[in-house]
Amino acid sequence: MKWTFSGAKTFLRCPRSWTFGLIANANAKDPLRHEAHILRQLTTPLGWLGNLVHSSIVQWGIPEIRQEGNMQADAIIEKTIALAERQEAFSRAHRYRTVSKSRSNGNFLALDLHERGEDLSSVEKETIRARIKYAFENLTKINEVTGLIHRSRTLWTERRFVWKFNGNQIEVKPDLLLIDNSGRPILIDWKVRDTDTPTAILQLGTYGLIITESGSIGKIRSEFFRLLEVNLLKGYLIEHQATKEMFDRADDYIFRTLDGMHRTLGELTINEINPWMVETTQYATRCIKCQFRSLCGKGEYYERRNIQPRLL
Ligand code: SF4
């Protein structure tokens, strides 16, 4: 079984939606599995904003900070807004149904509201642009983070780490992992959320535990990590204390969700999974935001009642 942090989150929200994700396959002859692949790629405007900022940090932000000590916010904002415009045109034309991510020249986007036949309002477009601007202006002002990126001994962006355990593949891909000059590992998680409440503590604890257990950066103790949550929209940095209790919680989270996934699938292979036989969420709000609602049927019930999400 493959375990990822986002997969576990989806499983806890709705086991059926997790199984739609499992059967999704771009190359499958079965039209259901192919459609599940298309739908799995749908995202909300809020998810899109996060992806845009993350990918621009990887592509342009980190190389410049690494070399220069900081970055020119105006230039990266301009490039990110231009990218957003290309992606939005791609999604509005429903090209995600015919062009794969790898053939889209970086312009791939599948917005859920385009799939529903709606469009972004001018206010929503303006909000996306304004938030891109805040995120990069804020990043240039968080000197502790830019300093760490500039001076660290080693740095990996979105590198995959795997802990193989009892036939399970437990995977994480942290936004940024640095090794400072004293050899201390530092995990950084970017958030692009309009909230003052830190949300990454479990995620960072899980990442620290899995990287430690993977053995990929040598023999270290999880408690040796520095765990930093950086909210780019609000411009703050929070350091979470890496404690034994935190890693015990992360361990419990991984094995509790993994056990639930095994019990849901039993001995079934991917080809034998029938998502309609799997338990569903009890919460209408989950269905309203779910990208598989047109397949599941349960979400369409709410759609017919005209309950629609607008997430910006
Ligand atoms: S529409 Fe609702 S019940 Fe169906 S898969 Fe999505 S979240 Fe689960």
Write out the chain's pLDDT in tens, 312 residues.
Answer: 999 999 999 999 999 999 999 999 999 889 999 999 999 999 999 999 999 999 999 999 999 999 999 999 999 999 999 999 999 999 999 999 999 999 999 999 999 999 999 999 999 999 999 999 999 999 999 999 999 999 999 999 999 999 999 999 999 999 999 999 999 999 999 999 998 888 899 999 999 999 999 999 988 888 999 999 999 999 999 999 999 999 999 999 999 999 999 999 999 998 899 999 999 998 888 888 899 998 998 655 445 544 444 334
Instruction: Indicate which atom in ligand 1 lies nearest the CA of residue 287.
Output: 2
Distances (CA, A) of 131 to 96, 149, 183, 196, 247: 24, 23, 35, 15, 33
**Which atom of ligand 1 is found nearest the CA of 286?**
7
Task: Enumerate domains of the chain plus CATH numbers.
Answer: 41-141 (no CATH), 145-242 (3.90.320.10)
- Which of 23, 290, 302 to probe ligand 1 with, by most ligand atoms within 8 A of CB? 290
pTM: 0.91
pLDDT value, residue 310:
39
Distance from the alpha carbon of residue 64 to the mean position of ligand 1, in angstroms: 42
Which residue, judged by its Cα, is nearest atom 5 of ligand 1?
Answer: 17
Distance 277 CA to ligand 1 centre (A): 12
Length of the chain: 312
Q: What is the pLDDT of residue 102?
A: 95
Any ligand 1 atom below 6 A from CB of 281: yes
Run of H or E including 261: helix 244-265
45 CA from centroid of ligand 1 (Å): 19
Contacts 24+ apart (CB under 8 A), 79-86: 80/52, 80/53, 80/56, 80/132, 80/136, 81/129, 81/132, 83/52, 83/55, 83/56, 83/107, 84/52, 84/128, 84/129, 84/132
Nearest to 161 by CA among 199, 203, 124, 215: 215
User: What is the reported pLDDT for 162?
Assistant: 97
Q: Which residue has the tokens 């986007």?
A: 109
